[in-house]
A and B are shown apart, each in its own frame.
Chain A
Amino acid sequence: MNASAIVKKYTMMIALVVVFIFFAILTGGRLLYAQNISNLLLQNAYVLVMACGMLLCILTGGNVDLSVGATLCLVAALAAQLLSKTALGAFATIGICMAVSFGIGAWQGFWIGHMHIPPFIATLAGMFLFRGLGRVLLASKTVSIANKTFLDIFSSYITVPGVDNTIYWSALIVGIAVALALILLTFVSRSKKARKGYEMKSAIAEYTQIAVIDLLIIAYTWQLAHYKGIPVMLLWILLVVLLYAFITSKTAFGRYFYAVGGNEKATKLSGIDTKKVYFWAYCSMSILAGFSGLLVASRIGSVSGDTGLTYELDTIGACFIGGASAYGGSGTVSGIIVGAILLGVINQGMSIFGLDNNWQYVVKGTVLLIAVIFDVVSNHKTGKA
């Protein structure tokens, strides 16, 4: 692979590094503080989680779900009210909230998948509908959450007695363990491929890649160790991201989303139930939106009628910055995660720098446009369009 091919393949990665360094310098190094590094992902947990679901929607043909911010608000409001007004515990609340999320998803999935209502319209309706219901549920008030179990499940930090005191060594130990595990996994998969005589990438390329990832993991956990240790929310994010990465890249079910986006008629004639594909894209989206509602409610500690406002736009933006095709059929979980983190770095960098909120919108808009222009232009040149 020559230099230009590498640049093309890792454009967003490179952009992320450049933007990160840019803001690190701009903020006089404050972006690199342990607290800020730790908060980077947590602040954007909702984008990371919902972008996974949004990817499935976008894959089916560039369709987006506009209702996720509203769904997030409705479920968060439900959680807050159940915890403050009823005697139900944290677990029952979470159970009910997830069931309601599924219900919302099934509702949207039914109209879009089985009744062929255009997704844009169905989810636009959902956006009004669920936002309204959420506000009704809150009676236009801000409701705070005091249930300690609930908060612990989503927004506490893991501490191991004896290991963690001023520095949370457990975080670093986990980081190193994961780094080693990755090397081992690569080695095992390579030797398996070699034994079966499959084609594989060159050893140098693959191990360099792993080394870079490992370094990042260790640097990241090093910073976590200097703040409060491993946040539980990080584990939830990882769970969702890994699950969706697995589904989209390894399973037949995941393959169908790409096929429908690539050519729906051909997919249907190949014996694949396209209605089901649409149904699950929107159903899973709402489940993740509801789950994000719990994460956000727990992190902020209260829910209001404006919770989750414009979150759908952040999520959609992250997907397109991360290289999902606006025409459907292509995009990867790893790509959109890079997109989400890039947006997160820009958000946080600007906040720390103290840029006016209004200007932050201008910057975000510009970044989104540049990312998509770049994608279109570079693909056009290679004739893939």
Chain B
Amino acid sequence: MADNILEMKEITKLYPGVRALDNVNLAVERGEIHAIVGENGAGKSTLMNVLSGTIPIGEYDGTILYEGHKCHFKTVRDSEKLGIVIIHQELALIPELSIGENMFLRNERMGKFGIDWDETFCQAAKHLKQVGLKDSPTTLIKDIGTGKQQLVEIAKALSKNVKLLILDEPTSSLNSEDSKMLLDMLIEFKKQGMTSIIISHKLSEVAYVADKITVMRDGATIETIENADRSIDEDRIIRGMVGREMTDRFPKRERKIGSDVGMEVSDWCVNHPVYTEKRVVNHVAFNVRKGEIVGFSGLQGAGRTELARSIFGKSYGTAITGTLKVAGREVKLKNERDAIEAGIAYVTEDRKVNGLVLGDSVARNNTLARLEKVCQRGIIDVNMENKVAEEYKEKLRIKTPTIQQFVNNLSGGNQQKVLLSKWMFADPDVLILDEPTRGIDVGAKYEIYCIMNDLVAQGKSVVMISSELTELLGMCDRIYVMNEGEMVAEMGANDATQEKIMGAILKSKKGAKEESKGA
């Protein structure tokens, strides 16, 4: 019999009106990396919350066996005592405190007189070394990037003597380099005997790292697939997740690219808003034609979002120079309002922080960017507003009980659709979509792609910024590659490959490094 470190049996969790988990069974063998995949709302996070004690015993049915013993976790603390540590997708670190302070928060190293800081930072440094982080433990969290913060979370888990590490979407905000590093570290820990559970939407990563893959759908475990030889086919996983064969991950589209240019940017320079000396976008030029989807590839920090936001009514940066032409005419945009009126929409990469009013209804979010369209002399016609929202709900197939539902009650994919509908309602000619499919499941992704195809079919221009090369290659007509604030390559969809894009990035980097060596 297999040596299972964890067995969850017949776990059922009811929320008012929803069966979030329905007789779920999960067995995790000691020393393996076990992946859990499923669409948003399939119950993955709920299951992990049950395991970690975030959902206390009594609020769910079923039994948890850990190391052969029955568990009764009332709080997260109870599970941590036994070495079960969960790292949530949204990191729980306090930006104004140092790495060391964060690592031992609520677990302080006490000396005779209060906290023993020497011991704290010494211990912290030890665990940081284990995760390969060279920063000093006294560095503030806000001064290191997201990738490193993720590593600090893992180091924090190590400091708690973790035996079973649970990672919820650990790579969703990391670039591919950092992701790879993180996954390799998990494999390294596995060799040292640690067991991990990883929840991820990125199937390529799951296939790369996991020994077993459990697929969840609609609150139930569908199947557990063996992946000992790392040979699993992604389509095989998708089939389990969506319950049907996904013949094509990208919808087909008739390419009808117009000859008119929708938007043209030339000689565009932007400086950092705080460190005003620093160039973040350096003499960039690009264009997008009507009916065309243009992709922007690059590593995190390449300046793509900065470029997009500076175009969108100077909502980012200082000392912005260059010319911007919309439909052939030069425009000067002072603020976001001007940009919307000029026919530009910027759909943010961070729907929760920059995109939606979460504590407000679907209908009211839908109209916010162009409220005057449902107004007469400044007075809102609520009936018309609701009608508009109903139309978009139908058109984009937004899954919500009513349009009066608060947006924070929707799943990530549906929130993304609300965000898209908001900007489609603003009726732009050029849409800049920044990571439009980040953190959403395969089914919703496909639907977002379909919406993009509809938009270009109507003659609109779409700019897609994405860190997923496959989706850029699958959707775009042309791809621009940016690195360190500069445009380093432009290629047609037919010539572009993952290798070429990565090559363009790496070559430019190498060039930059050699230059600095020479200087």
Interface residues of A (CB under 8 A from B): 193, 196, 198-199, 250-253, 255, 258-259, 262-263, 265-273, 329-330, 383-384
Q: Is the CB of A271 within 8 A of B378?
A: no
Can you offer 22 A-B residue contacts whose CB atoms are under 8 A?
Answer: A196-B383, A198-B383, A198-B386, A251-B375, A252-B372, A252-B375, A255-B380, A259-B357, A259-B360, A265-B353, A266-B348, A267-B368, A270-B336, A270-B369, A271-B313, A271-B336, A271-B339, A272-B336, A272-B337, A272-B368, A273-B335, A329-B360
Q: Is the CB of B383 within 8 A of A262?
A: no
Distance, CA A252 to CA B378, complexed state (A):
6
Interface residues of B in 315-369 (CB under 8 A from A): 315, 335-337, 339-341, 346, 348, 353-360, 364, 368-369
For the complex of A and B, the 10 pairs showing the least CB-CB separation, nearest first, are A262-B357, A271-B337, A271-B336, A270-B369, A271-B340, A252-B371, A263-B357, A270-B368, A265-B354, A252-B375
Q: Is the CB of A266 within 8 A of B357?
A: yes
Q: Is the CB of B380 within 8 A of A263?
A: no
Distance, CA A199 to CA B380, complexed state (A):
17
Measured between C-beta atoms, what is the minimum distance from A186 to chain B in Å? 16
Instruction: Decide yes or no: A269 and B360 within 8 Å by CB, A198-B383, A251-B378, A251-B379 being known contacts.
Output: no
A258: chain B residues within 8 A (beta carbon):
357, 360, 364
* CB < 8 Å neighbour of B368 from A196, A199, A251, A259: A259
Interface flag for B406 (CB, 8 Å): yes
A330: chain B residues within 8 A (beta carbon):
359
Distance, CA A265 to CA B346, complexed state (A):
13
Distance, CA A266 to CA B355, complexed state (A):
5
* CB < 8 Å neighbour of B354 from A193, A199, A266, A271: A266
A267: chain B residues within 8 A (beta carbon):
357, 368
Tell me which of B368, B406, B409 has the highest count of chain A C-beta atoms within 10 A of its own C-beta: B368
Distance, CA A268 to CA B336, complexed state (A):
7
Q: Is the CB of A273 within 8 A of B360?
A: no
Q: Is the CB of A273 within 8 A of B380?
A: no
Distance, CA A259 to CA B370, complexed state (A):
13
Q: Is the CB of B383 within 8 A of A266?
A: no
A251: chain B residues within 8 A (beta carbon):
375, 378-380
A265: chain B residues within 8 A (beta carbon):
353-354
Q: Find the B residue at minimum CB distance from A268.
A: B336
Distance, CA A266 to CA B372, complexed state (A):
17
B335: chain A residues within 8 A (beta carbon):
271, 273
Tell me which of A253, A269, A330 has the highest count of chain B C-beta atoms within 10 A of its own C-beta: A269
Q: CB-CB contacts of B385-418 with A at 8 A, as 1s and 0s?
A: 0100000000000000000001001000000000
Distance, CA A330 to CA B355, complexed state (A):
18
B382: chain A residues within 8 A (beta carbon):
250
Distance, CA A252 to CA B406, complexed state (A):
19
Measured between C-beta atoms, what is the minimum distance from A76 to chain B in Å? 33
Measured between C-beta atoms, what is the minimum distance from A316 to chain B in Å? 21
Distance, CA A193 to CA B384, complexed state (A):
12
A262-B357, A263-B356 provided; 7 other pairs, C-beta below 8 A?
A198-B386, A263-B353, A268-B336, A270-B336, A270-B340, A271-B341, A272-B337
Distance, CA A268 to CA B383, complexed state (A):
25
A269: chain B residues within 8 A (beta carbon):
312, 315, 336, 346, 348, 354-355
Measured between C-beta atoms, what is the minimum distance from B333 to chain A in Å? 11
Q: Is the CB of A255 within 8 A of B371?
A: yes
Q: Is the CB of B359 within 8 A of A329?
A: yes
Measured between C-beta atoms, what is the minimum distance from B432 to chain A in Å? 12
Distance, CA A329 to CA B380, complexed state (A):
18
Q: Is the CB of A262 within 8 A of B359?
A: yes
Distance, CA A330 to CA B361, complexed state (A):
12
A384: chain B residues within 8 A (beta carbon):
359, 406
Distance, CA A237 to CA B511, complexed state (A):
72
Measured between C-beta atoms, what is the minimum distance from A342 to chain B in Å? 25
Distance, CA A198 to CA B346, complexed state (A):
33
B340: chain A residues within 8 A (beta carbon):
270-271
Measured between C-beta atoms, what is the minimum distance from A61 to chain B in Å? 12
Measured between C-beta atoms, what is the minimum distance from B440 to chain A in Å? 18
B357: chain A residues within 8 A (beta carbon):
258-259, 262-263, 266-267, 329
Q: Is the CB of A262 within 8 A of B337?
A: no
Distance, CA A272 to CA B335, complexed state (A):
9
Tell me which of A271, A273, A383 has the highest count of chain B C-beta atoms within 10 A of its own C-beta: A271
B375: chain A residues within 8 A (beta carbon):
251-252
Q: CB-CB contacts of B114-144 with A at 8 A, as 1s and 0s?
A: 0000000000000000000000000000000
A268: chain B residues within 8 A (beta carbon):
315, 336
Q: Is the CB of A262 within 8 A of B380?
A: no
Distance, CA A253 to CA B375, complexed state (A):
11
Measured between C-beta atoms, what is the minimum distance from B492 to chain A in Å? 32
A273: chain B residues within 8 A (beta carbon):
335, 337
Q: Is the CB of A250 within 8 A of B379?
A: yes
Distance, CA A231 to CA B459, complexed state (A):
63
Measured between C-beta atoms, what is the minimum distance from B419 to chain A in Å? 9
Q: Find the B residue at minimum CB distance from A384.
A: B406
Distance, CA A250 to CA B380, complexed state (A):
5
Distance, CA A149 to CA B340, complexed state (A):
52
A193: chain B residues within 8 A (beta carbon):
383
Q: Find the B residue at minimum CB distance from A258.
A: B360
Distance, CA A263 to CA B359, complexed state (A):
8
A272: chain B residues within 8 A (beta carbon):
336-337, 368
Instruction: Decide yes or no: A262 and B360 within 8 Å by CB, A193-B383, A269-B348, A271-B339 being known contacts.
Output: yes
Distance, CA A271 to CA B360, complexed state (A):
18
Measured between C-beta atoms, what is the minimum distance from A63 to chain B in Å? 16
Measured between C-beta atoms, what is the minimum distance from B410 to chain A in Å? 13
Measured between C-beta atoms, what is the minimum distance from B384 to chain A in Å? 10
Q: Is the CB of B378 within 8 A of A253?
A: yes
Distance, CA A270 to CA B359, complexed state (A):
16
A263: chain B residues within 8 A (beta carbon):
353, 356-358
Q: Is the CB of A262 within 8 A of B371?
A: no
Tell me which of B356, B357, B364, B378 has the highest count of chain A C-beta atoms within 10 A of its own C-beta: B357
Q: Find the B residue at minimum CB distance from A264.
A: B357
